[in-house]
Amino acid sequence: MRNVIKIKAKPDYRKPQAPAASEQFREIYNESFSRIYNYIFFRVRNTWDAEDLTADVFVKAFEYIDSFDSEKGKISTWLGSIARNILNDYFRRSSVRSSLLTEFPEDMSAGIDIDDECLTREAVRVLFEQMKTLPELHQEIMSMKYMLCLKNSEIAEVLSMSEGNVKVTVHRIIAGLRKKMSDWM
């Protein structure tokens, strides 16, 4: 009697998607890409890694889109959680310490509403420099608030904090940055 080894076919990880589902995901991607990319770029400070990690976020989102429950939260919160987890894995694997804003980003636009008449480019550069001095958790909260455009309740959900704690923290960070900026101006 011969030993027969059965070789299992590799599972096909490519899920067939209905055209409507693909179109819906394309809309999610188009609406969310720049916020996710900016958030990741602010954390890794490297264009190539930011592009790769952003792609990883959307691949994972595409793979698990069926598990998203709109009754539990918004798609932006869900994508933010995926991005945060991918960043945590990246930093764990690469032993790189995250730190936001090592240099002034020239082309950041999503989530930042800067009135050209109120803030000069130099003032914005100084603001980014001041943000680099914040503790990592505060940098993460501010990047979620202003790069991912998440509400306090959504940040609280992602970071497992109370909404009130997030609100107070954001208020204190902004007050501290305003004081530092008033010294500069």
DSSP 59-76: HHHHHTGGG--TTT--HH
* Domain(s) of CATH 1.10.1740.10: residues in the chain: 18-98
* Cβ–Cβ < 8 Å for 104, 111: no
Residue of higher predicted confidence among 33 and 12:
33
Domain 18-98, CATH class in plain words: mainly alpha
Question: Contact, 34 vs 109, CB < 8 A?
Answer: yes
Closest CA to 149 of 113, 114, 105, 111: 111
At 177 the pLDDT is: 85
Tell me the average pLDDT of the chain: 78
Average pLDDT estimate for 43-67: 90
Element (H, E) at 130: helix 121-132
pLDDT at 37 over 90: yes
In the chain, residues under CATH classification 1.10.10.10 are 115-185
pLDDT at 55 over 90: yes
Given this model, what pLDDT does residue 42 score? 82
Topology given in CATH for the domain delimited by 115-185: Arc Repressor Mutant, subunit A (1.10.10)
Residues in the chain, total: 185
Average of per-residue pLDDT across 54-63: 94
pLDDT at 70: 84
